[in-house]
Amino acid sequence: MVTISVLVLLGLGLLTAAILAAASRVFHVSEDPRVAAVLEALPGANCGGCGFAGCEGYAKAVVTDPSLPPNRCCAGGAATAAKVSELTGKAAAASEAMHSFRRCNKRQGNVGLRYTYQGIPSCAAVAALADGAEMCSYSCLGYGDCVSSCPFDALSIRDGLAVVDEAACTGCGKCAEVCPRHVLELVPSRARVAVTCATLDKLKAVTEVCGVGCIKCLRCVKACPAKAVQLENGRIQIDHEKCLAHGDSCGQACVASCARKALCSLRPVLLEPLAKAEEKTA
């Protein structure tokens, strides 16, 4: 009795081991060890900011595709880009650090309520109900869909408005995707100015609901010497590359020209570069 059971189990064990050993040889899939190394170097947040489903997707793609740049990971920043470029042997071009920006100042503009909302506490739900609870159909709703979508805890809701923690924000763009009103937008961290309104309405339709909304008077468009401010798809958009390339000599004319305070300055104006100023006084 004992011998039979021992022999049967032994035989079964050996057979299974043999089959599995053979299978591991026959079905061996050779994987590029670089993929594993790149995956180690990536932060593992799986935020999707690189445009791939997860860190593994990007790791595989950057090793196999020679044209994919190694600096796509916004969560890891420059340090990760350097490591990945070292592992894949690609040159790391400096990529522009971005962060999220909220295009809405409804509190400053005293935007009222259309109705009191009591329902699913989600921006997508409120936005779907008769264009939202606020008088302005394009304002920030403040129910926090962006907060829950952020993999880095960089957003919070204060006084019904989404607030971005620039230190924590990596510019992955998840919040911008999730926001049903497209109030959140990625702007370069170096940006000098930004538009603080996301409305598609014009003139009286805006002045009726908000004190600081953009009325599309286009004064800013005319004021910009670099033609970096344009009306695109019903909103004022700033081409930050052109703006930064032109520099401070315009004195942030767009901000000054706006009668509605719909543009804000993100950096102080340096009218003359420091070196030149020293020359003058010397």
Partner 1 sequence: MDVFELFISAIFVNNIVLAQYLGNCPYLGCSRDKGTAIGMGFAVVFVIIMATLCTWYMQHSVLVPFGLGYLQTIVFILVIAGLVQFVEMFLKKMVPPLYAALGIFLPLITTNCAVMGVAILVQREEYDLVTSLLYALAASFGFMLALVLMAGIRERLETCRVPRAMAGTPIALIMAGLMSLAFMAFKGMTS
Residues in touch with partner 1 (CB under 8 A): 4-5, 8-9, 12-13, 16, 19-20, 23-24, 26-29, 120-122, 125
Nearer to partner 1, 23 or 78 (CB): 23
Structure tokens at 138: 């394009």
* Shortest reach from residue 24's CB to partner 1, in Å: 6
Nearer to partner 1, 9 or 271 (CB): 9
Half-sphere exposure of 156 (CA within 13 A, CB side): 6
* Shortest reach from residue 20's CB to partner 1, in Å: 6
Nearer to partner 1, 23 or 36 (CB): 23
Nearer to partner 1, 59 or 255 (CB): 59
* Shortest reach from residue 59's CB to partner 1, in Å: 15
* Shortest reach from residue 193's CB to partner 1, in Å: 36
For 13, other C-beta atoms within 10 Å of its C-beta total 10
Nearer to partner 1, 122 or 137 (CB): 122
Q: Cα(135)–Cα(253) distance, rounded to whole angstroms? A: 30
Say if CB 238 and CB 195 are below 8 A apart: yes
For 142, other C-beta atoms within 10 Å of its C-beta total 20
Structure tokens at 244: 């930064």
Say if CB 262 and CB 197 are below 8 A apart: yes
Q: Which residues of 178-206 are buried (b: 16+ CB within 10 A; e: fewer)?
A: bbbbebbbbbbeebbbbbbbbbebeeebb
Structure tokens at 246: 């032109």
Nearer to partner 1, 2 or 275 (CB): 2
